[in-house]
Amino acid sequence: MVSSYLTQSALNVEPADVELALSQLDEFLQDQSNWQDAVWAYRIPELGEGGACSLFGYLQDEPFELNSLLPQDEQTSQALAKLQSIVAFVQRQTNVDWFGIYQTRETSQGAQLLKLAYHGAPSRPLFPVNEQFAATSNNVQVVISGHARVINDVAAYVDNGGEYYTCDPKVQAEACLPLFDNANNCIGIIDAEAFSKDFFTPSVLALLIAVCIKIPQYLPE
């Protein structure tokens, strides 16, 4: 399972480190004191002209409701609670500044990445999965390609000509990793952001990979 994920995502991390992180995650999730509640609504930023960019620091009056795209039933609530618990694990283990779990869902506007659970500042709930957004969004690039993207110095990346979707100007490093189903189809992503450079060390990446291996079994149907 670990070697398959590493091959699919094009990441180079010691498999033993991922196995250790998987054990730590399982232990965390078995402890009921770590369980989190499902979050069905969250605040989101205003979007700029055309909806392409978030306006950092400006929030919409109404929260985004996940039941607009998900059935609000017990099964989905349990799934969201598990995902929020995984978010808590990542934040506790790494102290990362922002972390989110996204699933590809079909909407009236086509396929979009839907943010299911997260920790950190408010951010947009949906990313259209298309080539236009892939030009600037790591999230969309990763879900289309199935390959992880790790940027440990955002400023240097942009200075060297890289396109970058800025949600929070304090972000200096980002790791975006794919989620796969049993047939190795990319069905979502995780996104992690740090306010310091070189945050995503091999040990942090091993933990994020472990999380990516575990998350698909908890995604809503």
Q: The whole model's pTM is what?
A: 0.94
Residue of 212, 150, 164 whose CA lies nearest to 12: 150
Q: Is 106 exposed, middle or buried (0-12, 13-18, 19+ CB in 10 A)?
A: exposed
Give residue 168's pLDDT.
Answer: 72
Tens-of-pLDDT digits for all 221 residues of the chain?
Answer: 999 999 999 999 999 999 999 999 999 999 999 999 999 999 998 876 555 566 667 888 899 999 999 999 999 999 999 999 999 999 999 999 999 999 999 999 999 999 999 999 888 899 999 988 888 788 999 999 999 999 999 989 888 877 776 667 789 999 999 999 999 999 999 999 999 999 999 999 999 999 999 999 999 98
Contacts of 116 (CB under 8 A, 6+ apart): 66, 80, 83, 101, 102, 103, 219, 220
Dump strand ranges (E) for the chain.
41-42, 45-47, 54-59, 64-65, 98-107, 110-119, 126-128, 149-151, 173-180, 186-194
pLDDT at 123: 87
Identify the pLDDT of residue 93: 98
CATH number at residue 96: 3.30.450.40
H-assigned helices in 111-216: 131-134, 138-145, 154-159, 202-214
Q: Number of folded domains in the chain?
A: 1
Range of 111's domain?
2-218
Closest to 82 (Cα-Cα) out of 39, 135, 49: 39
Considering Cα of 52, then 53, then 54, then 60, what sign does the dihedral take?
negative
